[in-house]
Amino acid sequence: MATKKRAENNDVGKRPISITAVVDCVGALATGTLHGNLYFYDTNRAGGSTGAGTEELRTRVRAGDQLLWSVLALECEAYLAIDGIEIDHDLVEPERRVYPGTDVAYWIGTVKKDTDGDLGYRVRFKVGSRDEPITTTLSPSLVG
């Protein structure tokens, strides 16, 4: 039983982790900021992530984890896309990809090494017909 428990614990954090940003586009365009208009969620709550539903999601990660960032708009008529992810490239190098046969984009990256503390990062979003991206004001983070 103890051996099985240890094996299960070693598998925690060695899986794909989806990070989803939900954006109130109308609110972001009206205020010019994502503050109060952005809600992050991830699929690693059981692995120790905290802050789900806030701008300051703390995603628990380990070396080898594959991260997948995607975005959802609260309003189905609004254009919304991730324009970039500003993060320490020594830890993760996010890359934009598109699902085959669609124009639906997502960002993906693999955690290169364990981190001791919180590594904050920023996400830039293209919202509506606005020319300039809107960048997160509060930082989600990756936590070791």
Instruction: Report yes or no: 23 and 73 within 8 Å, Cβ to Cβ.
Output: yes
Asked if residue 6 has pLDDT above 70, the reply is no
Q: What is the pLDDT of residue 116?
A: 85
Query: CA-to-CA distance for 115 and 87, rounded, in angstroms?
Result: 13
Q: What is the pLDDT of residue 14?
A: 66
How many CA atoms, within 13 angstroms, populate the side-chain half-sphere of residue 24? 15
Q: Reduced to 3 states, what is the DSSP secondary structure of residue 84?
A: strand
Asked if residue 4 has pLDDT above 50, the reply is no
Render pLDDT for 92-136 as a digit per residue (tens, 0 to 9). Answer: 999 999 999 998 899 999 999 998 889 999 999 999 999 999 999
Letter for the amino acid at 128?
A: G
* Domain range annotation of the chain: 14-143
User: What's domain 14-143's superfamily in CATH?
Assistant: Inclusion body protein (2.60.40.3910)
Provide the CA 62 distance to its chain's centre, in angstroms: 15
Asked if residue 9 has pLDDT above 80, the reply is no
Asked if residue 11 has pLDDT above 60, the reply is no
CB neighbour class for 46 (10 Å; exposed up to 12, middle 13-18, buried from 19) = exposed
Q: Reduced to 3 states, what is the DSSP secondary structure of residue 109?
A: strand
Q: What is the pLDDT of residue 5?
A: 42
Asked if residue 12 has pLDDT above 70, the reply is no
Render pLDDT for 55-96 as a digit per residue (tens, 0 to 9). Answer: 999 999 999 999 999 999 998 888 999 999 999 999 999 999
Q: Please state the pTM of the whole predicted model.
A: 0.87
Query: CA-to-CA distance for 63 and 20, rounded, in angstroms?
Result: 20
How many CB atoms within 10 Å of residue 132?
A: 10
